[in-house]
Amino acid sequence: MGSDFLEYMKEVSSDFLEAVGKSSKPIRIIGNIDADGITSTSIICKALSRRDIRYVVSVVKQVNSELLDALKREEYDVIVFADLATAYLETLSKEFDKDIFVLDHHYPEIEEKIIGKVRQINPHLFNVDGTKEISAAGISYFFAKSIDECNKDMAHLALVGAIGDMQEDCGFVGMNQVILDDALEGDSVEIKDTLRLFGVQTKPLHKVLEYSTNPFIPGVTGSERGAIKFVEEAGIELYDKARNVRRLVNLSKQELAKLVTAIEIKKASGSMAESTVGPVFLLKDEDDDSLKKDLREFSTLLNSCGRMGWPSLGIGVCMGDSSTSDKANDLLREYRKEMIDALNWYYDNKGTPKVIEKKGYVIILAGSNIRDTIIGTLASLLAKSKVYPDGTIIMSTAYTLDGHIKVSLRITDGFSQGTDLRIIIKDLVDCGGGYGGGHKLAAGASVPQEKEDLMIREAISSLGKYVGNKSVAAE
């Protein structure tokens, strides 16, 4: 499975070490701000640290002309991009006289593995699906493992990145399964079947429900009183005999069954998304109350660091820096609250001009009401829910601080065959300027705010045509 890809990885890692050996300067690393990008970056940093190779790292929202201009002025000889830069391969090859390694899983626009002095490490070139079978963190993991077998102990970080990139669906497939096998073989991860909710290991039972955003439970999510009432109506005791608030992991099988039934009723009402019960992946060496215990919680913790503007804290957590934990935990609480506020804003504005709902697509115009680094997560949560029929395209937008509009495109489960959201993104970019890219099923763009009206008209036109063509094709 992916044997050609792994063989190529060995060649690239050898080229990388050769380039490092020729330079007396630190390695320049550029990573993406989401959980996949943070884990990708952390794996590379840790692998370099183990070989006493110096590096300078930055974590950014995206590659753009301003970033490239800044990199041109820097004197580093070797640059590594983690989870981004695929759309800039030609520019990098023409404008940089440096050894550049692009570790990315977004669909490549250029199919050559070597473009000038740029090495492209992308699974799609080897018929490995970068949307399901391996994330950027997985690529960084195999890259690090090719540098030194001792880096096999970072398999769990690669899984955290895959989870952050929505590549875990009650288990893993493809190269991600190979990584899981490494983690199980190294005895760092164990698997348990239980409720797949955030905070199962660490939070009081009612807080698990109050802070649940995937699923979003109307009347419960964001409401402590609603969550307590939900637990009581399910016939479950909230306190133990010592009057301590119980955690979900403390429930008996019978109580767990009651809770699952109550949640499934909510699921039938259309508010829930994925399977209620399934495999949960746990780090064996972490304490039960650690936010790194459950790999899904770990992923959300890292995502919160990136989305709230502190990706360096996420790298610190991955690198084992205990001094970053408290601040990261505080950011997580802020992030969860913002996500709940974003979902509440969406539900409050359904049926208004700010949420345009048409057959086959939805356009959410959040403006300054939702942080631009969170708007894509909102789209992903809605796409995984049952709020809209299968095959609905969700476009969400929010203003950025630099005068642009962040655009995120997702599609609801069950209608992915033949879909390529990058076509719509290209139409928006061509119309309004800016830049965009991503995956077939998860794409994004940045468009100047002064082009908003034009962008909305183009989006309605492009989405309408695309949905119509898909319907004709389906018939």
Please answer whether residues 464 and 361 qualify as being in contact, where contact means their C-beta atoms are separated by less than 8 angstroms.
yes
- Helices 295-307 and 35-50 pack at an angle, to 10 degrees, of 100
- Please report where in the chains the tokens 């073989």 appear, as a residue: 185
114 and 263, same structural domain?
Answer: no
| Residue type for position 276 | T
356 and 306, same structural domain?
Answer: no
Distance CA 131, CA 365 (A): 26
Please answer whether residues 125 and 108 qualify as being in contact, where contact means their C-beta atoms are separated by less than 8 angstroms.
yes
pLDDT in tens, 375-391: 999 998 888 777 888 88
Among the listed ranges 245-259, 389-403, 444-458, which one has the minimum average pLDDT value? 245-259
Q: What is the pLDDT of residue 267?
A: 55
Whether residue 472 is predicted with pLDDT greater than 60 in this model: the reply is no
Q: What end-to-end distance do the CA atoms of the chain give, in Å?
A: 35
**How many CB atoms sit inside 10 A of residue 191's CB?**
13
Identify which of 362, 323, 368 has the alpha carbon closest to the alpha carbon of residue 460.
362
pTM given for the model: 0.85
* Cα 284 to Cα 116, 186, 188, 242, distances in angstroms: 44, 11, 6, 28
pLDDT in tens, 50-102: 999 999 999 998 898 889 999 999 999 999 999 999 989 999 999 999 999 99
341 phi, psi to nearest 5 deg? -60, -40
228 and 167, same structural domain?
Answer: no
Identify which of 257, 281, 272 has the alpha carbon closest to the alpha carbon of residue 200.
281
Identify which of 196, 191, 192, 193 has the alpha carbon closest to the alpha carbon of residue 208.
196
Q: What is the pLDDT of residue 22?
A: 95
Q: What is the pLDDT of residue 113?
A: 95
Distance CA 184, CA 191 (A): 9
End-of-domain residue from the set 163, 186, 209: 186
Query: The sheet that has 55-60: what strands, in order across it?
Result: 55-60, 27-32, 78-82, 99-103, 118-121, 114-115
Q: What is the pLDDT of residue 470?
A: 60
Q: What is the pLDDT of residue 186?
A: 96
Quote the number of domains for the chain: 3
74 and 115, same structural domain?
Answer: yes
pLDDT more than 70, % of the chain: 93
CATH number at 435 reads 3.10.310.40
Distance CA 444, CA 396 (A): 9
25 and 9, same structural domain?
Answer: yes
| DSSP state letter for 430 | H
End-of-domain residue from the set 311, 343, 375: 343
Distance CA 396, CA 406 (A): 8
Whether residue 272 is predicted with pLDDT greater than 50 in this model: the reply is no
238 and 176, same structural domain?
Answer: no
> What residues have CB less than 8 Å from 21, skipping those under 6 apart?
none
The DSSP annotation for 229-257 comes to HHHHHTT--SB-TT-PBPBGGG--HHHHH
Domain extent, residue 411, equals 350-474
**How many CB atoms sit inside 10 A of residue 340's CB?**
18
- Omega prior to 215 cis, within 30 of 0: yes
286 and 169, same structural domain?
Answer: no
Distance CA 193, CA 134 (A): 23
219 and 121, same structural domain?
Answer: no
Identify which of 40, 28, 33 has the alpha carbon closest to the alpha carbon of residue 92.
28
Instruction: Tell me the pLDDT band of 475, cut-offs 50, 70 and 90.
Output: very low
395 and 356, same structural domain?
Answer: yes
152 and 113, same structural domain?
Answer: yes
Distance CA 456, CA 14 (A): 48
End-of-domain residue from the set 135, 166, 186: 186
251 and 182, same structural domain?
Answer: no
Average pLDDT value for the chain: 89
CA torsion 249-254-259-262 (nearest 10°) is 170
Instruction: Tell me the pLDDT band of 139, cut-offs 50, 70 and 90.
Output: very high
240 and 181, same structural domain?
Answer: no
* Cα 23 to Cα 54, 101, 348, distances in angstroms: 11, 15, 56
Q: Show the DSSP H helices in 393-451 as ranges.
A: 422-432
CATH number at 74 reads 3.90.1640.30
Higher pLDDT, 272 or 48: 48
Tokens representing residue 204 in the block: 């009081």
Distance CA 46, CA 29 (A): 12
